Chains A and B, each alone.
Chain A
Amino acid sequence: EPEVTQTPSHQVTQMGQEVILRCVPISNHLYFYWYRQILGQKVEFLVSFYNNEISEKSEIFDDQFSVERPDGSNFTLKIRSTKLEDSAMYFCASSEVRFNYGYTFGSGTRLTVV
């Protein structure tokens, strides 16, 4: 079964450093997303991406965040200057069409900012 692949599975970084979280969505999917889950809390929407541009973003997704699809397969989330409160599990997801229920999540990247 097709999967959304995220790397790394766990990343530790120092406060103030830049991190890039990587995702390979399912190949025929057109919509891509990032969500985050702070430990013990609910999953929160960050951003959706379609046709090489951001289609929606939440208020969490401020100027320190950016997303990119640098080639035909990868989808990245960059955090420019990490803060302690950025420590969370970050999930990438992809879907085939806008409201299709086939919304597949990756296994997540656990980011720890120290």
Chain B
Amino acid sequence: AQKITQTQPGMFVQEKEAVTLDCTYDTSDPSYGLFWYKQPSSGEMIFLIYQGSYDQQNATEGRYSLNFQKARKSANLVISASQLGDSAMYFCAMRELGTGNQFYFGTGTSLTVIP
């Protein structure tokens, strides 16, 4: 089974609008962390936001927020007030405390912001 599933290969959003990128995960480890990374066309991986499995509140970092629904095992990224520079690939990832130190990545969502 896939650890991380991103079902939206591509998304479009109008500039200044909000957009939600979906991510579901699969784990039996009670201790895990969920992450979102942005990969612009230049290729580097940029950390955006983190949510721990025991965190009670949804994580927020500026225009990024993580809609964490633990019972549904979903960790959707919400980008508010989209900007042209937000156009990139977005990867959801997970680390499990019990099974090691590696990240499991999803297949990514390509976001295009339309002026």
The listed residue (A44, A89, A105) touching B47 by CB distance below 8 A is A105
- Given contacts A42-B107, A43-B91, is CB(A105)–CB(B44) below 8 Å? yes
Number of A-B contacts (CB under 8 A): 61
Q: Is A25 an interface residue (CB 8 A)?
A: no
Nearest residue, chain B, Cβ from A48: B101
| Complex Cα gap A89–B40 (Å) | 13
A89 to B104, CA, bound (A): 17
Distance, CA A93 to CA B104, complexed state (A) = 14
B108 near A48 (CB under 8 angstroms)? no
When the two chains form the complex, which single residue of A41, A43, A45 contacts B45, counting CB atoms closer than 8 Å? Answer: A43
Residue B50 interfacial (CB < 8 Å): yes
The answer to whether A99 and B105 touch across the interface, beta carbons within 8 angstroms, is no
Could you write out 26 A-B pairs with CB less than 8 Å apart? A33-B102, A41-B107, A42-B91, A42-B105, A42-B106, A43-B103, A43-B105, A45-B103, A48-B100, A55-B101, A56-B100, A58-B102, A89-B43, A91-B45, A93-B45, A95-B101, A98-B101, A99-B31, A99-B97, A101-B33, A101-B35, A103-B47, A103-B103, A105-B44, A107-B44, A108-B44
- Beyond the given pairs A55-B100, A105-B47, 16 more chain A to chain B contacts, judged by CB atoms under 8 angstroms and listed by A's residue number, are A31-B101, A33-B101, A42-B91, A42-B106, A43-B93, A45-B103, A48-B101, A48-B102, A56-B100, A56-B101, A56-B102, A95-B101, A98-B101, A99-B33, A101-B33, A105-B37
Q: Which residues of A are interface residues toward B (Cβ below 8 A)?
A: 31, 33, 35, 41-45, 48, 55-56, 58, 89, 91, 93, 95, 98-99, 101, 103-108, 110
What are the 8 tightest A-B residue pairs by CB atom distance, in nearest-first order?
A45-B102, A105-B45, A101-B50, A107-B44, A43-B105, A42-B107, A42-B105, A56-B100
